[in-house]
Amino acid sequence: MQNLHFLTKFPLFRKKTDTISAVCRRCSLVCVLLITQVNLLFRRAPMQNHMSDESGFSLVELLVAVFILAIGLLGMAELQVTAIKANAQSSSISVANALAQKAVEDIAAMSADEAIFSTAVTDATWAGSPFTVDGAGVYNVTYDLEPNFGTVTGLSRITLHVRSAGLVSNVLGNSMRAVDVITFKRSF
């Protein structure tokens, strides 16, 4: 213990009865504490986020924004396809209705004494059918005629059938366009 007399100046080692091993244990503890304190003093400060001082976007923010934009654009593309199909469907329905309306007007313009109104027919082809409409396709017009409809003599019931010759674009897929119109012609 005589060699360690200088340690008695420190409060940790003031006991005269200390053995060398006790002093060494205290010394190693002090060394660990000192090393820890030195490491804390000289350790690099953690990286600080200086984003508040800088303007602009980080790469992660940019990637998230591009991803969200891509999802939105894909949704808009699907919406455009649906709108185009809905427009085509609307156009084909309008054409079929216009052809049916033209046939109804032709019937109204006919004389009630014509032979067409005196004989029952089913699935007869309308004059001029098939009709080709630019941008809408080909349509077949047929009709069914019932003379003396019901109990009324001289009243003919005409059912017009307008059908697309092929499949027409539809929102839910391609399908045949069909319009049925019923009109009456009085012959008395």
Chain CA centroid to CA 33, Å: 64
Going by DSSP bridges, is the β-strand pair 137-146/175-186 parallel, antiparallel, or unpaired? unpaired
Q: Is the CB of residue 85 less than 8 Å from the CB of residue 171?
A: yes
Predicted local confidence at residue 1, as pLDDT: 44
- The residue behind tokens 């897929």 is 173
Place of tokens 């409060």: 11
pLDDT of residue 101: 92
Q: How far apart are CA 11 and CA 59, in angstroms?
A: 56
Task: Choose among 140, 137, 131: nearest CA to 162.
Answer: 140
pLDDT per residue rounded down to tens, the chain (188 residues): 445 454 455 554 455 555 555 545 555 555 455 456 545 555 655 555 555 556 777 888 889 999 999 999 998 998 898 888 888 888 888 888 999 999 889 888 888 788 778 888 888 888 888 888 887 788 889 999 888 887 778 888 899 999 888 776 666 767 778 889 999 888 76
Q: What are phi and psi of 89, to 5 degrees?
A: -65, -45
Angle at alpha carbon of residue 173, lines to 78 and 72, rounded to 5°? 5
pTM, entire model: 0.55
What Rg do the C-alpha atoms of the chain give, in angstroms?
Answer: 48
d(CA 67, CA 64): 5
